[in-house]
Amino acid sequence: MKIESNYTSPKTLLNKGTGYLSGYSHSLNPYTGCTYGCSYCYVRQMPVSLFRKEEWGTWVDVKQEAAAILQKELHKAKAKGPVSIFMSSSTDPYQPVEHKEEVTRSLLEVMVQDPPDFLFVQTRSPLVRRDIDLLLRLEDKVRVSITVETDREDIRQKFTPSAPSIAARLKTLQLLREAGIPIQATIAPVLPSSPTFPATLRALVDRVCVDDYFMGDGSGGKRTRRLGIYSLYEELQLEDWYDPAAYRLVYEGLQQVFSEEELFLSQKGFEP
């Protein structure tokens, strides 16, 4: 697939944390657009994507001079009160373009020099391993959450064919943990998985968050319904997994091997 990448010069980087992210003072998106282009990604229905001709997943805007902008904004924000940052809400900060552009890395460098009170990094990319040196310097002020919606690679390929493999994400969790970085496995959205998924995660993490289209898309599942994802479930004859109660299929298995304190549902798992 041809990817179009552009350079933009935004005036600001930090956005106010609202709605689902109201526990945060700010959200931070190093890029606009995301070339993982997951089938269920509802960002494609947001203004950032709706006003583009190109299809979601085929373009990315690289924010130039991002570090310098963040440095100023962070300084100002910290003068006003506690700063907690969610990175990222409408892009993956470690999508493939980050290999070359290093925008996310440059933002972490700023945050190491002038740390926010808390930083939550949300990604599905093994590239986050490159920045272990910086993440370590944020000590307990950071949590890295790796999206692992399923343990089934065939399901991953159907729903998110451009995203990293499940094995690579599990390996990333293992390496981050070994490095001593606070981590979370995030099953969001819940996709059809195998009965051994909870045990696989038990061996890797002490914190799991479960979220689905119905709790987590901000509209009780309506946004996701508009994406037409249900047809994928029909094609796979896995309709049972597209249901407001389907998260229980995995959650109850997790409850067998994780304690209540280690398990989080929906928004709770993303809070600072």
- Which residues of this protein are in contact with ligand SF4, per CB under 6 A? 34, 36-38, 41, 43, 91-92, 124
Sequence-separated (6 or more) residues with CB below 8 Å from residue 182:
140, 142, 143, 144
Question: Which residue, 38 or 127, is less far from ligand SF4 as judged by CB?
Answer: 38
The nearest distance, CB 195 to ligand SF4, in angstroms, is 25
Q: CB burial class (10 A; 0-12, 13-18, 19+) of residue 55? A: exposed
> Considering beta carbons, is residue 163 or 253 the nearer one to ligand SF4?
163
CB of 97 to ligand SF4, least distance (A): 12
Closer residue to ligand SF4 in complex, CB, 60/70: 60
* CA nearest neighbour of 184 among 207, 151, 156, 154: 207
The distance of closest approach from Cβ of residue 260 to ligand SF4 in the complex, given in angstroms and rounded to an integer, is 28
Rounded to whole angstroms, the Cα distance separating 143 from 201 reads 17
Closer residue to ligand SF4 (CB): 96 or 198: 96
Q: CB of 199: closest distance to ligand SF4 in angstroms?
A: 26
> Which residue has tokens 């904004």?
73
Kindly tell me which of 29 and 84 has the beta carbon lying closer to ligand SF4: 29
Least distance in angstroms from the C-beta of 261 to ligand SF4:
27
Q: How many CA atoms lie within 13 A of 169 on its CB side?
A: 26
Separation of alpha carbons 81 and 17, rounded Å: 14
* Cα–Cα distance measured from residue 31 to residue 54, given in angstroms and rounded to the nearest whole number: 16
Q: Which is nearer to ligand SF4, 31 or 258 (CB)?
A: 31
Q: How far is the CB of 217 from ligand SF4 (least distance, A)?
A: 11
| Other CB atoms within 10 A of residue 96 CB | 18
